Chains A and B, each alone.
Chain A
Amino acid sequence: DIQMTQSPSTLSASVGDRVTITCRASQSISRWLAWYQQKPGKAPKLLIYKASSLESGVPSRFSGSGSGTEFTLTISSLQPDDFATYYCQQYNSYWTFGQGTKVEIK
């Protein structure tokens, strides 16, 4: 089974900050990686697929990069609506989620 590890688990940041979340796979998953945003009591929302493809309607301040085993999600300028928990997910071999990264207000 492929394991996904996100870091950090919690991130404290201010509005306007550049934020980077890292996701590592236990084996190569090529570029078959997605990122989701989840707010409390709500369903997850797709942000990025195939490592760097921005889902329609998602603000351009979100970007993804990486391939193989190491990936990043970057928010170029954190907005109030971005405080949430973010999950990476591999879909190279079945499906596995990372444990999540909570982005909280500093």
Chain B
Amino acid sequence: EVQLLESGGGLVQPGGSLRLSCAASGFTFSSYAMSWVRQAPGKGLEWVSTLSDSGTSTFYADSVKGRFTISRDNSKNTLYLQMNSLRAEDTAVYYCAKGGKGGPYWYFDLWGRGTLVTVSS
């Protein structure tokens, strides 16, 4: 079955760190760009970060640049998001998404169920 499964969310204090993981299965993980998208409670979708299939190109939203790092381990079919210096406004459900091919960038054709990150003291 083609699926993405996020883990690593939880409650963290402001200024703290957290690492999210996304385990992929059912497709050739190394052939696709992968992304993180978040959704604050009751709000819309916000793109966070994207990593190319080879891992050589990274992209970040201005809101997380310098604090978050996206990476992947193609041997483990896993995507990561290292989140440092967390703020209350980072509280959200974080989704992992697979890139669909075609175009200058990628649309997102498969999504995980999400993992909740809560930043609060």
Point out residues on A near B: beta carbons under 8 Å.
Answer: 32, 34, 36, 38, 42-46, 49-50, 55, 87, 89, 91-100
Quick one: which of A44, A89, A92, A98 contacts B95, CB cutoff 8 A? Answer: A44
Taking the closest CB of chain A, its distance from the CB of B1, in whole angstroms, is 14
Give chain B residues whose Cβ lies under 8 Å from the Cβ of A95. 35, 47, 50, 105
Q: How many residues of B contact A (CB 8 A)?
A: 23
- Residues A97 and B102 in contact in the complex (CB < 8 Å), given A43-B112, A89-B107: no
Q: Are B104 and A92 in contact (CB under 8 A)?
A: yes
Given A43-B112, A43-B114, A87-B44, A94:B105 Cβ within 8 A: yes
Question: Closest 5 A-B residue pairs measured CB to CB?
Answer: A95-B47, A43-B111, A34-B107, A91-B105, A97-B45
Provide the B29-65 mask, 1 if CB < 8 A to any CB of A, else 0: 0000001010000001111001000000001000000
Shortest Cβ gap from A34 to chain B (Å): 4
Q: Chain B residues near A87 (CB, 8 Å)?
A: 44-45
In the complex, what distance in Å separates the CA atom of A55 from the CA atom of B108?
11
Classify the interface of chain B: helix, strand, loop or mixed.
strand
Known contacts being A43-B95, A43-B111, A43-B113, is A49 close to B102, with CB within 8 Å?
yes
Chain B residues within 8 Å of A, Cβ to Cβ: 35, 37, 44-47, 50, 59, 95, 100, 102-114
B107 lies within 8 A of A94 (CB):
no
Given contacts A43-B95, A50-B102, A92-B104, contact A97 B47 (CB under 8 A): yes
Contact A94 B102 (CB under 8 A): no
Chain A residues with CB under 8 A of B112? 43
